[in-house]
Chain A
């Protein structure tokens, strides 16, 4: 028995290699068997869906938690977000050919030939049902704590959907609600077939929605609870077949892949070259690396990978694409725990950590060392701050002497062995918390720990079993120093809300931010106000103001928040993620390339409906 176990350990690598090569050969045959994917009349386009893994037996329902529905292929929206930081309402046309924002809402012109895969046209009933479903899924409706009048850019509030005839639809925003992102949120809602989904909804759904929006809190609460319960029914619903208004329709789902056929009724079917799409199942990054190095995918979504794998992928004939990803990996502090409540300490740590070196190890392919800590990624900092404002920012270039000087100024001492001691004389040690499975954070922690230990602060990386536990324990204030995702944009208020929001004890009611250090969700524990350049600022209020300020007018607010974040360092931004993808022109041509950020941030189905991906 024992010998068997050892043999298994010894042979694991060989078996895995054999399995991989077996998979790869069969996959290659599939691609080549269908005309090599190079016929003018189409071929098989093989890729990975970045949103969901393939789950055999899961419902073809986009509201399910692990659906067999694939955005841009058989899951459609009126428009697709371009993730334009300077224009949040900039979208690619989807089922909507055009739209006009009005004082009361939005007027949408549907695509003239928009049809479902059963041949029936897309109608106002489909849009109305879909927007009603959004209320059951929590993506529409009042935002808790916002008082119902100010929507912070996460939810939309619709009061009515009217058919103006000729495929023109009027979507009215609830009177009194101020939402800068109404257009984007409505156009980005998932559109489903009314005939399939309306039987799942109660006949009085819009009455319930009206009650949620109404002035009676008790009636609103009861209606919200009812909608939430109905949402669960909708999420569990399993349609008998896929009825798609997208370029493809789901034909078959197996444990290893999903097969989608071109939707002959799609409004722009002449633009769609692939006859079929195969979306491969994966359980981890290394499987996608295998697919790529074996040349099995036509394109890949963002996949974290080391440089050696990226080089192998390029050697296999792929072209790399880069697009900004509005996420930053940061090391955050719990300022309730000394000595991290001292700004000089956080600044000293920023001077010790060499972000370039950490990025090289942690996220060498999909990361760019953060040039500044501002709460936004580099390109957004460039877009919103003037050159004077940027030059006033501290880049915290590695400078151990400056770090030592800051610490000495704060009462820290260094012993003969080079170990730093806290002002009370005890040795200063750091436990840098990270999460099991987050290979980039784990690898980066090794370098950070090494740098800090070499500087004289004994640092040990510690790993929490899973992300849910990590969030829970971080929220409970168990970690003094830990990794955290920040700069979640491109919406700037969302990015700052990550720092000066609930996690920092701020809550917003009717546009007014209040700060509570004892709030259960507060684990940053920064002060309620900062003094920056002689001025006292309230970061929570400024963040709340951002959510109701048009992008064009946000610069003064962002300048204050960026300067405050850069000076106070509630977290140190280590790297900004880059969305690195790969494509090969072995079977198809005309892929979006680096520079086409808006397209690259969307799935290939969206590329196809815009006329990209042509048969070779």
Chain B
């Protein structure tokens, strides 16, 4: 009984946030479209491979034109391009999500600790951050590709995330430096609240809008980075993903010289552009959700 009451209280408390989210998203059709696109690709990544476990090949239908059987035509092995787009989405999105997660967790933690504590810890963490910023991600990936096959999104996501958090840490630190001088934080310190409480309960929620926006923007950046690496053939590949499709279309299928492989080239490109568009449109809603001034204006 007590548990039911607690749950209903929690739901009541959560409802305003949900309402605000719903309002922010539905206020402009573009935001709704953006959310729809993101959800579509997320569902594609989660469920797609269940429908198309292994890609069928047909050596007698290489680079077949789009048809009722093959909506987006076929590739160099006669495999259905639509199926490849669906199957390839999981690797691309998982990698980007993992990289964004690693970046956010590391960048926020380091930025908050450095900005709040200042002093020696700040100096030490910022030197580490400077070092990370100097690591050239691309050459590192090329070197690592001799050891790892990057067949799992964890490996690629980890490397991209570990080399990409420096900028976030610096930005979060500067936000934290500004916030720590604000009255509510001075009051919290005056009340003798522990640093952990101040950082997690007071500072973190205030930089949440920035974090959320960065998370989405970094997803775009990481998709571009990983797809670019596969496209350029800088890392070996053992599974289908959008970057591999681009690479095969240009370097094996001659999409730049022959129209036959053009749909094969354009399919993953259009997916990337659509996903980017979806994220950019949805960011508008996130901005409003966390920015009180925009909420008031609306």
> A-side interface residues toward B, CB under 8 Å?
1-3, 5-6, 8-10, 12-13, 16-17, 20, 284-286, 289-290, 293, 305-309, 311-312, 356-358, 360-361, 364, 436-437, 439, 442-443, 446-447, 450, 453, 460-466, 469
Binds A, one of B122-130, B174-182, B254-262: B254-262
Number of interface residues of B (CB under 8 A): 49
Task: Tell me the complex Cα distance, A9–B54, Å.
Answer: 28
With A and B bound together, what is the CA distance between A381 and B89 in angstroms?
47
Q: Is the CB of B252 within 8 A of A463?
A: no
Closest to A17 in B: B256
State which of A3, A5, A306, A357 has its C-beta within 8 Å of the C-beta of B253.
A306
The answer to whether B227 touches A465, judged by C-beta atoms less than 8 angstroms apart, is no
Residue picked from B251, B253, B257, most chain A C-beta under 10 Å: B257
User: With an 8 A cutoff between CB atoms, is B149 at the interface?
Assistant: yes
Chain B residues in 8 Å Cβ range of A450: 54-57, 77
- Contact between B252 and A439 (Cβ–Cβ < 8 Å)? yes
A17 to B227, CA, bound (A): 19
With a cutoff of 8 Å between Cβ atoms, the chain B residues found around residue A460 in the complex are: 238
Residues on B with beta carbons closer than 8 Å to the beta carbon of A439: 248, 251-252
- Asked if residues B238 and A463 are in contact (CB atoms below 8 Å), the reply is yes
Instruction: State which residues 214-260 of B face A: CB under 8 Å.
Output: 217-218, 220-221, 223-225, 227-228, 231, 233, 235-238, 248, 250-258, 260
Q: Which residues of the other chain, A, contact B79 by a CB distance below 8 angstroms?
A: 446
| B241 → A minimal CB distance (Å) | 13
Of A5, A306, A437, which is within 8 A of B254 by CB? A306
Nearest chain B CB to A296's CB is how many angstroms away? 12
A432 shortest CB reach to chain B, Å:
10
- Which residues of B sit under 8 angstroms from A443, Cβ to Cβ? 76-77, 248, 252
**In contact, B220 and A286 (Cβ under 8 angstroms):** no
Given contacts A6-B272, A8-B224, A465-B146, contact A308 B54 (CB under 8 A): no
> A311 contacts which chain B residues (CB < 8 A)?
258
Q: Which residues on A sit within 8 Å (CB–CB) of B109?
A: none
Instruction: Mark each residue of chain B from 259 to 292: 1 if its CB lies under 8 Å from any CB of chain A, else 0.
Output: 0110001000100110010001000000000000
Nearest CB of A to B226, in Å: 10
Q: Which of A9, A307, A461, A465 is within 8 Å of B228, CB to CB?
A: A9
CB distance from A262 to the nearest CB of B (A): 32
In the complex, what's the smallest C-beta–C-beta distance from B2 to chain A, in angstroms?
Answer: 47
B83 to chain A, nearest CB (A): 13
Residues 181 to 225 of chain B near chain A (Cβ within 8 Å) = 217-218, 220-221, 223-225
B49 CB–A CB distance under 8 Å: no
Distance of A12 Cα from B242 Cα, bound (Å): 15
A290/B256 contact (C-beta < 8 A), A2-B220, A361-B77 known: yes
* Residue from the list B77, B146, B251 in contact with A286, Cβ < 8 A: B251
A436 is contacted by which of B56, B233, B265 (Cβ under 8 Å)?
A: B233
A321 to chain B, nearest CB (A): 20
- Asked if B66 is an interface residue, CB under 8 A from chain A, the answer is no
Q: Measured between alpha carbons, how far is A405 from B51 in the docked complex, in Å?
A: 33
Nearest CB to that of A443 among chain B residues? B76
Determine if B77 and A309 form an interchain contact, defined as CB atoms under 8 angstroms apart.
no
